Structure formats: C-alpha cells, structure tokens
C-alpha cells in the first residue's frame, strides 16, 4: 500500500510532562489543569476539548462533539480556499465521506466505529526553556490523503503544521486541533 501524507483534526490526546538533564533520566511532573492549559495552548486549543486531569498529573482531552460537527464543513471550505481548484481529488472524496447520509455522525471516542477514518500521530514533543518537556500523544480524524511519500515517519512537518494552524488567524475553532502525519 505505501505511506501517504495526511492532514487531520485531533479528536483525543494524552499529555505528559517530564523534567531532567537527559531524556533517559527525566522525572514525571504532575501539573494542575491550569498549568496544562498554559503548556498546551500554543499547540492545542484546550477550550474545544473536554479535559480529564489524571491522578498521576497527566491529562487527557477529547474533542467536543458539537465543536466538530458545527465546524468541520466550514473547515473544509477554508482548506478548499487554501488549496485552490487544482487540489488533489482525494480532498473532495474524503469530505463527501464525512457524511454518507448527509448528516455528520457523532465522534465515538470509545470504539472508533462511527464512519470516520482515525490514525495515531507521532508524538509532539515540546521542550521549554526551563527544561520541561511536554509529550503529546494524539489520535486524529483524517481529512484527506495526499500521494505516496518515501518516508515512514517525520517530525518537523507535523509540528510546523500544527503550530501554523493553531497560531493563524483562521476563524474556525478546528484550526486549534490540526495535525499532519504520514500514515500507511
């Protein structure tokens, strides 16, 4: 089958904070919900997620179903404007596949059997100036597939795309949950 480039919307994530002199001797940090929001805000718009602080100080987030359903069509319109009329045909195919019966389905975070295509992204790792590393694992809903790529994994592009969408002036809340990845 090969590997393909994709762009998607994060539908759930988990994050962990660590600190230490090397990646092999880092200690877990238990952050409060307010600290997590501050740490994640440049990468993920936490206001569009239901957040669950875990006993060990990590955090999980689940995209609010109404945010997705109310904004995905508008987000596709923004992407259509960015990509122009010569966009890959897979773009329109995936958009139509979002709602086979004309209605958007609820996101099912339990078993992923809701008609959407889900994938896991490589971790996003953010190292701040104080030596605290935030590692974000996320699952996302694929918006479309782009042609074959000759890499199995890559790290720079997902972080750049995520940051650019999150910090853009795009007037759609889903811009706060964009990720790119190689799948396949």
Q: What is the pLDDT of residues 84-103, one digit of tens each?
A: 888 877 778 778 776 655 55
Percent of the chain predicted with pLDDT > 70: 84
Q: What is the pLDDT of residues 125-167, one digit of tens each?
A: 888 878 889 999 999 988 888 776 666 556 677 778 888 888 8
HSE at residue 92, side-chain half, CA atoms within 13 A, is: 7
Tell me the whole-structure pTM to 2 decimals: 0.85
HSE at residue 101, side-chain half, CA atoms within 13 A, is: 5
Residue 1: its pLDDT value, please?
55
């Amino acid at each position: 089958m090969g590997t393909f480039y994709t762009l998607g919307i994060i539908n759930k994530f988990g994050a962990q904070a660590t600190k230490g002199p090397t990646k092999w001797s880092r200690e877990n940090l238990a952050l409060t919900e307010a600290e997590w929001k501050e740490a994640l805000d440049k990468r993920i718009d936490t206001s569009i997620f239901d957040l669950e602080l875990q006993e060990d100080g990590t955090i999980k987030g689940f995209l609010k179903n109404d945010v997705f359903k109310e904004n995905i069509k508008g987000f596709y319109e923004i992407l259509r404007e960015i990509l122009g009329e010569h966009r890959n045909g897979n773009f329109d195919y995936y958009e139509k596949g979002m709602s086979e019966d004309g209605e958007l389905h609820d996101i099912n975070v339990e078993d992923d059997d809701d008609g959407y295509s889900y994938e896991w992204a490589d971790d996003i790792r953010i190292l701040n100036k104080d030596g605290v590393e935030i590692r974000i694992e996320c699952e996302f809903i694929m918006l479309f597939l782009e042609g074959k790529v000759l890499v199995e994994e890559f790290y720079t592009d997902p972080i750049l795309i995520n940051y650019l969408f999150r910090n853009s002036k795009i007037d759609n809340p889903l811009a706060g949950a964009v990720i790119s990845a190689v799948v396949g």
